[in-house]
Amino acid sequence: MTVLIQPQHDLSPIEIDAIEECLYDHNQRAIGRNDGRGLGFVIRDEAGRLIGVAAGYSWAGTSELKQMWIDEAYRGRGYARELLNAFVAEAASRGVRRIWVASYDFQAPGMYEKAGFKRVAEFAGWPEGHSNIVLCKTLITR
């Protein structure tokens, strides 16, 4: 069988979703857990426009916060902290033990640390002149 590797640098959202599904299928078979679910919260303004989001997933007692964003005009009002608190509370209600997030040094690692996340890795020069920081919060389960 001959295969051809071709450049395709702009995968469509449908293709990315299909790849994510293949990865999830493999992962759930590997550990026997198929409880993966999206986890997210949004804030909208009076006109219904998205002004903030905290989005990720929970699976197998873990959670990743993949996207955290607040529109620049709404920053500094505590919305990011409210979204993060909602995300953490929902993760805890699902039995999640650990949440992880990656944040560049010019984004919000301090906010995560104030919320109880601990730095577990830091990649200097990623991008050049900056760091990519991985943080984790361990939740206490009852």
91: nearest Cα among 115, 125, 124 = 115
Residue 14 domain-assigned (yes or no): no
Range of the domain at 85: 36-138
Residue 124 domain-assigned (yes or no): yes
Q: Which amino acid is at 126?
A: W
For residue 50, list its beta bridge partners. 44
Per-residue confidence band for 73, with pLDDT thresholds at 50, 70 and 90: very high
Q: What's the CA gap between 20 and 91, in Å, rounded?
A: 20
Q: What is the mean pLDDT of residues 109-137?
A: 97
pLDDT at 141 over 70: no
Residue 84 domain-assigned (yes or no): yes
The pTM of the full predicted model, rounded to 2 decimals, is 0.90
pLDDT at 142 over 70: no
Number of domains in the chain: 1
pLDDT at 9 over 90: yes
Q: What is the pLDDT of residue 140?
A: 78
Say how many residues make up the chain.
142
Distance, C-alpha 64 to centroid of its chain = 4
- The angle at the Cα of 76, spanning 125 to 101, to the nearest 5 degrees, equals 40
